Amino acid sequence: MTTIPTLTDRLTAIPCPSWCMLAPGHPVDSIHDGGRSSRGHGGPMFGKHLSAGADEYADTPGLLTYVIQLDAEGVNITRPSELLDLAAQAIAAAQWLEAHR
């Protein structure tokens, strides 16, 4: 009997990008509206609040949608130096995103 790989099986069989910090071959981690599944690849951090990554959908394995995620809910910036640091980190994140698109 021959087993036909599912879309999810095909997705996890594709190697992660070299910059992905998650375990090799990590599984699908999200199910979207309409049942579309994806796995996210975790990339580098830019300071405390910006992280790079990419989403890869089971119906288009190997095609990555690159993202920069902002995690700053409830964060208040009170010093100009903090804002300048965030600006420098955002520039570095934008350069990473540009290089991977």
Q: Label residues 33-66 b or e (16+ Cβ within 10 Å = b).
A: eeeebbbbbbbeebeebbbbbbbbbbeebeebeb
pLDDT over threshold 70, residue 54:
yes
- pLDDT tens sequence across 12-41: 678 899 999 998 888 888 888 888 888 999
pLDDT over threshold 60, residue 5:
no
Distance of alpha carbon 16 from the chain centroid: 11
pLDDT over threshold 80, residue 2:
no
Mean per-residue pLDDT, 54-62: 89
Q: Distance between terminal CA atoms of the chain?
A: 41
Which pLDDT score, from 0 to 100, does residue 4 have? 46
pLDDT over threshold 80, residue 83:
yes
Which pLDDT score, from 0 to 100, does residue 6 have? 59
Contact, 56 vs 46, CB < 8 A?
Answer: no
Query: Rounded mean pLDDT of the chain?
Result: 88
Which pLDDT score, from 0 to 100, does residue 9 have? 60
pLDDT over threshold 90, residue 68:
yes
